[in-house]
Amino acid sequence: MRRAVLFLLALGIAGCGEPTPPSQVAVVSPIKAATPPTHPLPVPDFAHLYNLGLLRASSSVRVGMNWDEALAVFAEPKGSFEGSDLPVSLTQPDGNQAFEARSWQAKDEGFGAILRENRVTVAMDELDEVTQDRVNEILSQYTNEFGQPHIFDKTGASVPSTLTGTHVSYWFWQDGPAPDGQYLMLCATETGPSKFSVTCSIGWMPIMEDLGMAPDVAAGEQRTAEAAIANRLAKRPNPTISSNHVTP
């Protein structure tokens, strides 16, 4: 069984990339999430309502929801376990924490959130043992709801934001201008023959950036993960991970 979302958030052991072993995949940048903050932690802006959300059936989790509202969308399954550890990058050295983490972990899925005053600043859902057809289905759900993946450049123009790799792919959406807008991230990592770990995350831009879940970090994470996977496969006489190509 892979690590809980809680521990992925708290420890940031691996980027959305190389499976070690195949079922253990995280999305948080290992450097950013495990590094104590070097600047005052920002205060989330819940005043603006944006359209992005973490989709589930006919509903969604949005930034600003309280934890109970989020659990009404991503209901905790029987037999799951809970956690509450914060990533190091969001901790206060004096112990007076401004943020808290809540999560549940089941066999093939985990859901968690970073909260400020019980309101969602970042929410993340992770699925294991996902087929390529299911990856494409999830991607279609998000593109049907929010359009093609896109972010805004420094001029405010909308630009495509898709990083499609051999084994690791990212898609980003942005709503609202920096620094108070939001990112939606979808990441698919191949963990075995035609099997993927899929991470979907929604959050306020400054916290997503602090956790390494932002477009500028993703490009480097993808290159590192692709190189590590390719190196591992090169050492195997019969590689068990294929070269699938996921497209929107």
Q: Residues 25-71: pLDDT tens digits?
A: 344 454 456 577 767 777 887 888 899 999 998 899 999 999 999 99
Is pLDDT of 208 > 60? yes
Residue 28 within any structural domain of the chain? yes
Q: Rounded to an integer, what distance in angstroms lies between the CA atom of residue 215 and that of residue 223?
A: 13
pLDDT digits (tens, 9 = 90+) for 142-201: 999 999 999 999 889 999 999 999 989 999 999 999 888 999 999 999 888 888 999 999
pLDDT of residue 22: 34
Give the pLDDT score at 36: 73
Cα torsion through 50, 11, 192, 55, rounded to 10: -20
| Cβ burial 56-88 (10 Å sphere, 16+ → b, else e) | beeebbbbbbeeeebbebbeeeeebeebeebbe
How many domains is the chain built from? Answer: 1
Q: Is position 16 within any domain?
A: yes
pLDDT at 163: 92
The reported pLDDT for the residue numbered 145 is 97
Residue among 158, 178, 217, 157 nearest 33 (CA): 217
Q: Is the pLDDT of residue 123 over 90?
A: yes
248 in a structural domain = no
Residue 240 lies in a domain: no
pLDDT at 171 (0 to 100): 97
Question: HEC profile for the chain?
Answer: CCCCHHHHHHHCCCCCCCCCCCCCCCCCCHHHHCCCCCCCCCCCCCCCCCCCCEEECCEEECCCCEHHHHHHHCCCCCCCEEECCCCHHHCCCCCCCCCEEEEEECCCEEEEEEEECCEEEEEEEEEEEEEHHHHHHHHHHHHHHHCCCEEECCCCCEEECEECCCCEEEEEEEECCCCCCEEEEEEEEEEECCEEEEEEEEEEHHHHHHCCCCHHHHHHHHHHHHHHHHHHHHCCCCCCCCCCCCCC
The rounded percent of the chain whose pLDDT value lies above 70 is 79
pLDDT level of residue 210 (50, 70, 90 thresholds) = confident
Structure tokens at 135: 């990856």
**Structural domain range at position 195:** 5-36+46-234
Assess contact for 201 and 54: CB atoms under 8 A.
yes
Report how far residue 56's alpha carbon sits from residue 42's, in angstroms, rounded to the nearest whole number. 29
Q: Would strands 150-152 and 100-105 be described as parallel, antiparallel, or unpaired?
A: unpaired
The answer to whether residue 141 is domain-embedded is: yes
Residue 1 has a pLDDT of 31
Q: Rounded to two decimals, what is the model's pTM?
A: 0.83
Residue 21 lies in a domain: yes
Q: How confident is the model at residue 89 (pLDDT cuts 50, 70, 90)?
A: confident
Q: How far apart are CA 167 and CA 18, in angstroms?
A: 9
The overall average pLDDT reported for the chain is 81
Residue 247 corresponds to which tokens in the numbers above? Answer: 């497209």
Q: Which residues contact 55 (CB under 8 A, 6 or more apart)?
A: 141, 142, 145, 200
Determine, yes or no, domain membership for 239: no
Looking at residue 26, its pLDDT comes to: 40
Q: State yes or no: pLDDT of 241 exceeds 60.
A: no
pLDDT of the residue at 111: 94
Q: What percent of the chain has pLDDT over 90?
A: 47
Q: What pLDDT is attached to residue 72?
A: 97
Give a yes or no: residue 102 inside a domain: yes
Within 10 angstroms of residue 138's Cβ, the number of other Cβ atoms is 21
